[in-house]
Amino acid sequence: MDEAQMTRARERIGDSNHHRAMALRCAGCGANLEVEPDVDHLTCGYCRTQQEVVRRGGVVRLQKLEDAIALVQRGTDKTAAELAIPRLERELLEVDADRKRQIATPIRVPDRTKLANAVITMMIVSSVGFFSMIALMNKDVTSGFLIHFAWVVWLAGVVGSAGGWVFLRVLRRGDRDKAKAQRDAEINEAAASEVRRIREALAAARAVVGARG
Ligand SMILES: [Zn+2]
């Protein structure tokens, strides 16, 4: 080894001691790349892959930049998913509680106004018959056409109004049952679609947490 070679060798040693440049394998094409210690990011001169210098646990390696971003992204996703799970579980309970509350709410149905008016009319008719009977008896009329007519009017009014009232009740119950069945079906359908959406989100969140955890 002559003087010039010795100098070059010394320079090389001095160089490498000073910079501690490392030969790292490109994460893209596998080429050996000289990496200076102060370099955090580089682009491979052969394959143009952008990479990050990862120094961890005394090991230095190159990692594709999109991988690094993806890892951070996945870490963020995992944290978000972990936070989302209890919220979504709470939402599931809330949806069901809401559904029960809505179903328990009394339903309003339109009045059967015509029939109700007919019942009231029959009550008035029965009162007219009743007071006519009283008036006739006060005048000592205890037999004959008039008192029989008043009696028939009173009886017809009582029967008509009582029957009409029962019929009205039955009809209104039917109206209410029908309206409630329809309303409850709508409530249940809306709740079911909410539950489906939340369960899908929950499954996705659990998959993210499970896959990384
Ligand atoms: Zn490369």
Distance (angstroms) between ligand 1 centre and the Cα of 192 equals 53
Residue 143 structure tokens: 């037999």
How many angstroms does the Cα of residue 13 sit away from the middle of ligand 1? 26
For residue 212, is pLDDT > 50? Answer: no
Tell me the CA–centroid distance for residue 211 and ligand 1, in Å: 30
Of 2 and 111, the structure prediction assigns the larger pLDDT to 111
Cα of 51 from ligand 1 centre, angstroms: 9
Among all chains, which residue has been given the structure tokens 């009283």? 134
Tens-place pLDDT, residues 105-141: 999 888 899 999 999 999 999 999 999 999 999 998 7
Locate the domains of the chain by residue range. 3-56, 75-212
- Threshold 0.75, pTM exceeds: no
